[in-house]
Amino acid sequence: MLTNHCYQGDCRAVMRDLIAAGVRVQCIVTSPPYWGLRDYGHPAQLGQEPTLREFLANMVEVFDLCRELLAGDGTLWLNMGDSYAGSRGAPWGPSPSATEARAMTASRRRDDAPIPRSDVRVEGLKPKDLVGQPWRLAFALQDAGYYLRQDIVWHKPNPMPESVRDRCTKAHEYLFLLTKNEKYFYDFAAMQEPVSGGAHARGSGVNPKAVVPAGWDTSAGGHRALTGRYAGTGVGFGRGYDKVAKPRAKQNVSFSSAVAGLVDMRNRRSVWAIPTQSYSGAHFATFPEALVEPCVLAGSRPGDIVFDPFMGSGTVASVAQRLGRRWLGAELNSDYIALQAERTRQPGLVLEASA
Last residue of a domain, one of 245, 260, 275: 260
Residue 247: the pLDDT is 46
Sorted by sequence, the CB contacts under 8 Å of residue 276 that are 6+ apart come out as 108, 109, 156, 158, 159, 285, 288
Residues 271 and 253 reside in one and the same domain? no
Residues 148 and 22 reside in one and the same domain? yes
Model confidence pLDDT, tens digit, residues 216-242: 455 544 444 444 443 444 443 333 333
Identify whether 352 is part of a domain: no
Residue 285: the pLDDT is 54
Last residue of a domain, one of 260, 278, 303: 260
Q: State pTM to two decimals.
A: 0.74
Residues 9 and 95 reside in one and the same domain? yes
Identify whether 354 is part of a domain: no
Identify whether 163 is part of a domain: yes
113-142 CB burial, b ≥16 within 10 A, e <16: ebbbbbbbbbeebeeeeebbbbbbbbeebe
Residues 19 and 100 reside in one and the same domain? yes
Residues 162 and 36 reside in one and the same domain? yes
For residue 338, the domain's CATH number is 3.40.50.150
Q: Rounded to the nearest 5 degrees, what angle is found at the Cα of 246, between the Cα atoms of 243 and 249?
A: 120
Q: Which residue range(s) make up the domain with 206? A: 202-260
Residues 42 and 72 reside in one and the same domain? yes
Residue 45: the pLDDT is 77
Per-residue pLDDT of the chain (355 residues; tens, 9 = 90+): 688 998 999 999 999 999 999 999 999 999 998 876 666 666 667 877 788 899 999 999 999 999 999 999 999 999 998 888 876 555 444 444 433 333 333 333 333 433 434 467 788 889 889 999 999 999 999 999 999 999 999 999 988 888 889 999 999 999 999 999 999 999 999 999 998 765 555 544 444 454 555 554 555 444 444 444 434 444 433 333 334 444 444 445 444 444 445 678 999 999 999 998 765 555 455 689 999 999 999 999 999 999 999 988 789 999 999 999 999 999 887 777 767 666 666 665 545 544 4
Identify whether 208 is part of a domain: yes
- Nearest-angstrom CA–CA distance, 93 and 227: 73
Residue 34: the pLDDT is 80
- Nearest-angstrom CA–CA distance, 25 and 74: 7
Identify whether 277 is part of a domain: yes
Residues 220 and 79 reside in one and the same domain? no
Residues 144 and 240 reside in one and the same domain? no
Identify whether 274 is part of a domain: yes
Residues 36 and 57 reside in one and the same domain? yes
291-311 CB burial, b ≥16 within 10 A, e <16: bbbbbbbbbbbeebbbbbbbb
Residues 276 and 333 reside in one and the same domain? yes
Residues 231 and 304 reside in one and the same domain? no
128 φ/ψ sector (left φ>0, alpha ψ -120 to 50, else beta): left
Residue 134: the pLDDT is 94
Last residue of a domain, one of 260, 279, 304: 260
Identify whether 119 is part of a domain: yes
Residues 90 and 169 reside in one and the same domain? yes
Identify whether 25 is part of a domain: yes
Number of structural domains in the chain: 2
